[in-house]
Amino acid sequence: MTQGTAQVLAGPPAAAALLDEARRRAARLPHPPHLALVRVGEDPASVSYVRGKAKKASEVGLSSHVHALPGDTTQADLLALIGTLNADPAVSGILVQLPLPAHLDPAPVLLAVHPAKDVDGLHPANTGALWNAHEGLRPCTPAGIMALLAHHGVPVRGARVVVVGRSALVGRPVAGLLLNADATVTLAHRATPDLGAVTRGADILIVAAGQAHLITPDMVRPGATVVDVGINRVPTEDGKGRLTGDVHPDVAHVAGALTPVPGGVGPMTVAQLLMNTVIAAERQHAQTEVTGELVR
Ligand SMILES: NC(=O)C1=CN([C@@H]2O[C@H](COP(=O)(O)OP(=O)(O)OC[C@H]3O[C@@H](n4cnc5c(N)ncnc54)[C@H](OP(=O)(O)O)[C@@H]3O)[C@@H](O)[C@H]2O)C=CC1
Ligand SMILES: Nc1nc(=O)c2c([nH]1)NC[C@@H]1CN(c3ccc(C(=O)N[C@@H](CCC(=O)O)C(=O)O)cc3)C=[N+]21
C-alpha cells in the first residue's frame, strides 16, 4: 500500500499573521496595550511559558509585566493583586498562569479577574458568552486553533468535528467556537466507549487529552484534518526531554492535514493571547471615549 503524507498545518506562519494584525491594531491606540502576567511559584513549564508570552508581547509593541509571586502565596494575597490590576486603568489584560499550586483554588481566582480584562477568556461571563455566541473574549488556545484552520483554508462550516477532551481550557471552548462556526460537534472523554469508532467519524479531529500518542492511525478517517493540542514531555537519552503530541506520528500517513508538535497550536496560543490583549484595550478605549471612565 502506498502511504501519503499529510499536509503540515504549521503554526508559525499563521501566528505571524495574527501577530502582525495585533501589532497594527495596537499601534492605532493612544497607549500601548498592557498585559499583566501573574505566575505563582516556580513550575518550570509555567516559568518558560510566561517568559515566552512577555517576550512576544514586546515584539508586537505591547507592554507587559510578570507578577511572579512566591509558591506559598495565600489565596487572599493573590485575590488582592488581581483586585489592584482590575482597578488600574493602565492594565488592559490579566492572565493568571495555570496550574496554580495545589493549596490555591483556581475557580475564585478566575472569577476575580474583571471580564473585560480576562484575556484568557476563562471567566464565566466570557465562557457563557461563547456558548451563547455573544461577544466576549475567547480562550486563547481554542481561538488560536480557529485562526490556524482559517489560515490554512480548512473549511469548518458543515464539517463533522470530534473533540477529544472536555477541559475548561481547551476541549469545551473549542467545541463552542466550532459550533458557532456551523460545525457538527461531538465531545469525547474518558467515559466515551470505543473512542476510535467516534474519532473515525471526524472530518476534523481535535485532540486535547494530554496523553502522548493516544490517537493512532486506525482511529483516523483517511484524509481527515487532525489538530494535535497535546504537549507531552517525553524523556530522551540526553536527559533534556522532548515535546510530543497526543497524536502518533504514523497518523501523518492517513490524515489529509496535521498540526505538528511543537510548531502547531502552541505558537497560536501565544499569538491569540496578544490579540486578545489588543481587543480588550480597544474595547476599554471605546468605552472610555463614551463614558469618560471604564465601567466596572
Ligand atoms: N498547545 C497549547 O497551546 C496548549 C496545550 N495544552 C495541552 O493540551 C493537553 C490537554 O490540556 P487540558 O485540556 O488542559 O488537559 P486536562 O487534563 O484538563 O483535560 C484532558 C481531557 O482529556 C480527556 N482524556 C484524557 N485521556 C483520555 C483518554 N484516554 N480517552 C479519552 N479522553 C481522554 C479527559 O477526559 P475526562 O474529562 O473524562 O477526564 C479530559 O477531558 C495537554 O497536553 C496540555 O499540555 C493545553 C493548553 C494549551
Ligand atoms: N491561564 C493559562 N492560559 C494558558 O493558555 C495556559 C495555561 N494557563 N497553562 C498551561 C497551558 C499550556 N499553554 C501553552 C502555551 C504555549 C505553548 C507553546 O508555545 N508551545 C511551543 C513549544 C514550546 C517549547 O518548546 O517548550 C510549540 O508547541 O511549538 C504551549 C502551551 C498555555 N496554557
pLDDT in tens, 161-194: 999 999 999 999 999 999 999 999 999 999 999 9
1's grid cell? 500500500
Catalytic machinery residues = 53, 97, 120
Q: Which residues contact 4 (CB under 8 A, 6 or more apart)?
A: 253
- From CA 99, how far away is CA 83, in angstroms rounded? 20
Residue 21's pLDDT is: 98
ipTM: 0.97
pLDDT in tens, 34-72: 999 999 999 999 999 999 999 999 999 999 999 999 999
Q: Tell me which residue has cell 513549564.
A: 45
Contact 162, 209 (CB under 8 A): no
Nearest ligand by distance to the CA of 109: 2
Q: What global pTM score does this model have?
A: 0.96
Confidence of residue 288 (pLDDT cuts 50, 70, 90): confident
Asked if residue 191 has its Cβ within 6 Å of ligand 1, the reply is: yes
Mean pLDDT of the chain: 96
292's grid cell? 469618560
- From CA 180, how far away is CA 143, in angstroms rounded? 12
Q: Per this entry, what is the length of the chain?
A: 296
Q: Output the CA angle 59-61-63, nearest 5 degrees.
A: 100
Give all domains of the chain, ordered by start, each with its CATH number.
Answer: 31-114 (3.40.50.10860), 140-267 (3.40.50.720)
Whether 17 has a pLDDT exceeding 80, the answer reads yes
Count each helix (H run) and each strand (E run) in the chain, helices first.
9, 11
Query: What distance in angstroms lies between residue 99's CA and the mean position of ligand 1's atoms?
Result: 13
Whether 290 has a pLDDT exceeding 80, the answer reads no
Query: What distance in angstroms lies between residue 97's CA and the mean position of ligand 2's atoms?
Result: 10
Whether 296 has a pLDDT exceeding 70, the answer reads no
Amino acid at site 23: R
pLDDT in tens, 109-144: 999 999 999 999 999 999 999 999 999 999 999 999
